[in-house]
């Protein structure tokens, strides 16, 4: 269970989030929509503890633990994963070495021994298939020279290896071609179980079709201004955000 | 002073004149102890001392550009002893030390301070022209049988030819020439490709401050091939000063791999001078790695002669705390179709100082292709790095490029890694290792490449504790 209460956050001295409230129960998939620049990525970054973003007020509690008190790596090892909107290149650090370090950090956190070399390679092979990522990406530097779509596949692949309990997908669908999107989201669905939950940021209906989310939230001007079920997402796809803006302005 | 560092070398004893401190102490030393030094020296090395001493006395008035970023005077001022009587302080260094680059199946020679330990598997002096030789110069000196005298003749003929540039200019070469008593010779005859690399492990090991003056002469015949690995270590926290002169003569078509790995200590001041003569069609692959050091300076002069000469000099520095690392590379290009590349990467932490000077000299009527790259990653506020590329070009038909960059760790990459659960220290380590790794990947000798990559990784892991980087640590404790 993830509970965000009255969350305020700023970046470069500018307040972006102005009191966000959001609860995601175990096993649920929530979709977050909102106009460009409304603060969706800001919220994601705050959830994973990006030091560029400063929380000024409010709380984030996951399974009873204060997320804001944890370092980014601690949060990750507690099961928080973010698929970045724009994944960065890490030249010279191969995907294999990178993921081994990440997986072993998590295992250490759980009190487990490092994974055996052969088991690890088998695991990579199995998870690559889920998203259809070629073997040669493993020996290349992380995201080094990857196309936009390949980077997004890479993110889901990493998620599959690390098996998080709470996943944020920040526009993972944009940049993927139709077939790749299906593979990736099907892969994502395969990894769902009754316990892990997700916050999915998207601008597109296709994602709603595949994901069948439990809830849809709309973020505007740093607040969640509207909530509903999947049908809210379809309405936005059809009518945009203006009607919501009008609705707010007519409210007292 | 303990008995074995006899006689002690006093620098400024009873002198009021502050200018006399520094390099001059060595000239004074020679005046007092020259005869005794000669008594325990290879005769072929004893001849040149006094000229050097005069040069050193002149030096303090003409410091020049050569040591722009390294304060030579300050480095040479403290007092050190010299092991004039050449006692081997560690009877069996092959057992006592464990060099991190060990297990290479190499022809290994240990040099304790500047005394060459008997080799575990000696290579006897060549009986004829077809045999190679790795061993002390003293073993072939003043020999009158056929093969051995050939070696000493080669030494006399080519040793100074290959080192001519440095003899004119470099005070460290003067100092080394003035004080060295023995050295190692590697001789590979025409056409021979040495199957096993030659590994020279220099160890500073003394309980009192010690100066060592080392010499290596490498001769590669026509189309000969060899790999030479030089490892530098220091034991304990004694102050050490070492000078090393490496002279190389590469005949037509020969190939040399020359690798340096330094894992010394904060109390070690080390100067290593390379003077390399490359004839036509020869190839040099060199890689100089400074893992831990106090003050470290590599000076390399390469002189290409004729056509089709290839020279690649790369290196990496990993420095923190108060370490000072300086690489100075000077390549004088040959005529047609010659290539050279300098590729250096530094990772600078703590309050470390790094310097790089790359000089490409191209004479008239040359057609060459020369590249220079110096990239630094500065990971702390107090670290500094200086870079000085110099292109001296007197020809038209040349392709020359140089670049120097100074950057910080990529914060976005760091965060990305932490988001995946990798702790900050580990993430920094991975990024730093990745940064220098492409320099290490240039080492063509695979087992060496792997070992060095591991040493570098361990170096990044070894937090502030300095001795951590040194593989002789086990022996110290
Ligand atoms: N590092 C930053 N420096 C300065 N401004 C920033 C930074 N990050 C975000 N912002 C600003 O904060 C606001 C919210 O940005 P955010 O990326 O959260 O929007 P978003 O809802 O994800 O938009 P999109 O749908 O385009 O991805 C924008 O005005 C943006 O310019
Ligand atoms: Mg965004």
Q: Say if A114 is an interface residue toward chain B (CB within 8 Å).
A: no
Report pLDDT for B280: 96
Which tokens sit at A84? Answer: 């970045």
Q: What 3-state class would DSSP assign to B202?
A: strand
How many A from CA of B150 to the centre of ligand 2?
A: 76
Contacts of B461 in chain A (CB under 8 A): none
A52 ligand 1 Cβ < 6 A: yes
B30 vs B317, higher pLDDT? B317
Distance from the Cα of residue B383 to its chain's centroid: 23
Ligand 1 atom having least distance to the Cα of A219:
21
Checking if the pLDDT of B360 tops 70, the result is yes
CA distance A14 to A221: 12
Of all ligands present, the nearest one to the C-alpha of A45 is 1
Mean pLDDT of chain B: 86
With CA atoms as reference, the chain A residue closest to B431 would be: A93
As a whole number of Å, the end-to-end CA separation of chain B is 23
Ligand 1 atom having least distance to the Cα of A52:
1
Averaged pLDDT, B154-175? 86
A38 ligand 1 Cβ < 6 A: yes
8 Å CB contact between B56 and B178: yes
CA distance B313 to B284: 8
The protein residue with its alpha carbon nearest to ligand 1, atom 16, reads: A39
Residue B12's pLDDT band (cuts 50, 70, 90): very low
Checking if the pLDDT of B7 tops 50, the result is no
Specify the residue for token string 């290349």.
A140
A168 ligand 1 Cβ < 6 A: no
A41 ligand 1 Cβ < 6 A: yes
Domain ranges for chain B, please list them.
91-460
With CA atoms as reference, the chain B residue closest to A99 would be: B420
Inter-chain touch B424–A99, beta carbons under 8 Å = no
Residue B287's pLDDT band (cuts 50, 70, 90): very high
Number of H helices, E strands in chain B: 12, 21
Checking if the pLDDT of B130 tops 80, the result is no
CA distance B171 to B29: 16
A222 ligand 1 Cβ < 6 A: no
8 Å CB contact between A127 and A160: yes
How many A from CA of A37 to the centre of ligand 1?
A: 5
How many A from CA of A78 to the centre of ligand 1?
A: 26
How many A from CA of B402 to the centre of ligand 1?
A: 39
Of all ligands present, the nearest one to the C-alpha of A34 is 1
Between positions 158 and 197 of A, the ones with CB within 8 A of B are 158, 162
Our CA-based measurement puts residue B357 at a distance from the nearest CA of chain A, in whole angstroms, of 26
Residue B15's pLDDT band (cuts 50, 70, 90): very low
Residue B46: closest CA among B56, B58, B55, B33: B33
Mutate to test the interface with A, among B409, B411, B422 (most CBs of A within 10 A): B422
Nearest to B420 among A76, A89, A109 (CB): A76
Checking if the pLDDT of B164 tops 50, the result is yes
Report pLDDT for B477: 31
With CA atoms as reference, the chain B residue closest to A91 would be: B434
Our CA-based measurement puts residue A92 at a distance from the nearest CA of chain B, in whole angstroms, of 5
Inter-chain touch A77–B421, beta carbons under 8 Å = yes
Distance from the Cα of residue B218 to its chain's centroid: 13
pTM here is 0.87
Checking if the pLDDT of B241 tops 50, the result is yes
Checking if the pLDDT of A168 tops 90, the result is yes
Checking if the pLDDT of A55 tops 50, the result is yes
8 Å CB contact between B212 and B182: no
Contacts of B433 in chain A (CB under 8 A): 92
Q: Which of A65-69, A247-251, B204-208 has the lowest mean pLDDT?
A: A247-251
Residue B141: closest CA among B111, B180, B183, B82: B183
B80 vs B319, higher pLDDT? B319
Inter-chain touch A92–B437, beta carbons under 8 Å = yes
For B192-226, how does the pLDDT look when each residue is reduced to its tens digit (9 = 90+)? 999 999 999 999 999 888 999 999 999 999 999 99
The protein residue with its alpha carbon nearest to ligand 1, atom 18, reads: A39
Of all residues in chain B, what percent carry a pLDDT higher than 90? 57
Checking if the pLDDT of B2 tops 50, the result is no
Residue B244: closest CA among B207, B266, B270, B265: B270
Which tokens sit at B173? Answer: 């070469």
Contacts of B430 in chain A (CB under 8 A): 93, 97-98, 101
* Burial tier of B320 (Cβ tally within 10 Å: 0-12, 13-18, 19+): buried
Q: How many residues does chain A have?
A: 252
Q: What 3-state class would DSSP assign to B48?
A: coil
Q: Which of B102-116, B247-261, B300-314 has the lowest mean pLDDT?
A: B102-116
Residue B62's pLDDT band (cuts 50, 70, 90): low
Domains of chain A: 2-249 (3.40.50.300)
CA distance A49 to A73: 9
Show the beta-strand stretches assigned E in B251-309. 255-263, 268-278, 283-292, 295-304
Distance from the Cα of residue A105 to its chain's centroid: 20
Buried b (16+ CB within 10 A) or exposed e, A163-183: ebbbbbbbbbbbbbeeebbeb
Checking if the pLDDT of B126 tops 80, the result is no
Q: Which of A235-239, B51-55, B259-263 has the lowest mean pLDDT?
A: B51-55
Please count the residue pairs, one from chain A and one from chain B, whose beta carbons lie less than 8 angstroms apart.
78
Pocket test for ligand 1, best of A9, A14, A15, A16 (most atoms within 8 A of CB): A16
Contacts of A76 in chain B (CB under 8 A): 418-421
Nearest-10 Cα torsion for B397, B398, B399, B405: -150
Report pLDDT for B51: 78
* Burial tier of B95 (Cβ tally within 10 Å: 0-12, 13-18, 19+): exposed
8 Å CB contact between A17 and A39: yes
Residue B217: closest CA among B302, B110, B135: B135
Contacts of A231 (CB under 8 A, 6+ apart): none
Report pLDDT for B146: 59
Checking if the pLDDT of B123 tops 50, the result is yes
Paired strand residues for B338: B368
Checking if the pLDDT of A46 tops 90, the result is yes
A20 ligand 1 Cβ < 6 A: no
CA distance B101 to B197: 12
Angle CA A29–A32–A37, to nearest 5: 155
């Amino acid at each position: 269970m993830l509970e965000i209460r009255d969350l305020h956050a700023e970046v470069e001295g500018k307040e972006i989030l102005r009191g966000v409230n959001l609860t995601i129960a175990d096993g649920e998939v929530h979709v977050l929509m909102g106009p460009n620049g409304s603060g969706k990525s800001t919220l994601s970054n705050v959830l994973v503890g990006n030091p560029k973003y400063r929380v000024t007020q409010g709380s984030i509690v996951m399974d009873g633990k204060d997320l804001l008190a944890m370092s980014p790596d601690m949060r990750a090892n507690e099961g928080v994963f973010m698929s970045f909107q724009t994944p960065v290149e890490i030249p010279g650090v191969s995907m294999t070495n990178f993921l081994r370090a990440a997986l072993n950090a998590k295992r250490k956190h759980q009190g487990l021994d490092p994974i055996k070399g052969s088991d690890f390679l088998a695991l990579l092979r199995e998870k690559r298939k889920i998203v259809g990522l070629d073997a040669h990406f493993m020996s290349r530097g992380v995201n080094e020279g990857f196309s936009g779509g390949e980077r997004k596949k890479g993110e889901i692949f990493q998620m599959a290896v690390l098996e998080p309990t709470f996943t944020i997908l920040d526009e993972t669908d944009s940049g993927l071609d139709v077939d790749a999107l299906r593979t990736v989201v099907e892969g994502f669905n395969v990894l769902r179980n009754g316990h892990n939950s997700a916050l999915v940021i998207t601008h597109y209906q296709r994602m709603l079709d595949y994901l069948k989310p439990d809830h849809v939230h709309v973020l505007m001007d740093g607040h969640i201004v509207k909530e509903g079920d999947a049908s809210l997402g379809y309405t936005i796809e059809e009518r945009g955000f203006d009607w919501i803006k009008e609705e707010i302005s007519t409210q007292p | 002073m303990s008995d074995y560092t006899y006689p002690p070398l006093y620098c400024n004893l009873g002198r009021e004149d502050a200018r006399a401190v520094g390099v001059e102490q060595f000239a004074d030393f020679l005046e007092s102890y020259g005869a005794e030094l000669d008594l325990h020296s290879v005769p072929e090395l004893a001849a040149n001392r006094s000229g050097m001493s005069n040069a050193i006395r002149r030096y303090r008035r003409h410091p020049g550009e050569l040591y722009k970023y390294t304060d030579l005077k300050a480095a040479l001022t403290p007092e050190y002893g010299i092991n004039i009587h050449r006692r081997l302080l560690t009877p069996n260094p092959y057992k006592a030390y464990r060099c991190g680059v060990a297990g290479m199946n190499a022809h290994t020679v240990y040099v304790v301070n500047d005394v060459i330990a008997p080799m575990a598997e000696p290579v006897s002096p060549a009986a004829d022209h077809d045999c190679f030789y790795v061993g002390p110069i003293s073993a072939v000196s003043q020999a009158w049988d056929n093969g051995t005298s050939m070696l000493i003749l080669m030494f006399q003929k080519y040793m100074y030819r290959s080192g001519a540039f440095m003899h004119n200019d470099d005070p460290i070469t003067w100092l080394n020439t003035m004080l060295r008593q023995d050295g190692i010779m590697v001789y590979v005859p025409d056409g021979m490709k040495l199957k096993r690399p030659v590994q020279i492990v220099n160890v500073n090991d003394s309980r009192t401050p010690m100066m060592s003056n080392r010499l290596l002469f490498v001769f590669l015949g026509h189309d000969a091939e060899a790999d030479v690995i030089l490892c530098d270590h220091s034991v304990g926290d004694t102050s050490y000063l070492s000078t090393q002169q490496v002279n190389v003569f590469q005949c037509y078509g020969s190939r040399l791999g020359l690798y340096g790995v330094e894992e010394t200590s904060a109390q070690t001041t080390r100067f290593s001078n390379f003077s390399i003569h490359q004839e036509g069609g020869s190839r040099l692959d060199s890689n100089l790695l400074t893992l831990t050091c106090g003050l470290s300076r590599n000076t390399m002069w390469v002189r290409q002669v004729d056509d089709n000469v290839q020279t690649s000099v790369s290196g990496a520095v990993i420095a923190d705390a108060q370490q000072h690392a300086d690489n100075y590379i000077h390549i004088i290009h040959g005529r047609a179709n010659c290539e050279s590349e300098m590729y250096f990467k530094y990772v600078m932490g703590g309050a470390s100082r790094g310097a790089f000077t790359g000089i490409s000299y191209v004479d008239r009527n040359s057609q060459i292709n020369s590249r220079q790259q110096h990239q630094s990653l500065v990971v702390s506020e107090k670290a500094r790095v200086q870079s000085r590329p110099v292109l001296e070009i007197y020809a038209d038909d040349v392709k020359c490029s140089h670049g120097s960059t100074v950057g910080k760790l990529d914060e976005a990459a760091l965060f990305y890694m932490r988001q995946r659960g990798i702790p900050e220290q580990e993430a920094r380590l991975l990024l730093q290792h990745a940064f220098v790794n492409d320099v290490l990947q240039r080492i063509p000798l695979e087992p060496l490449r792997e070992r060095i990559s591991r040493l570098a990784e361990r170096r990044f892991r070894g937090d502030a504790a300095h001795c951590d980087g040194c593989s002789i640590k086990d022996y110290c404790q």
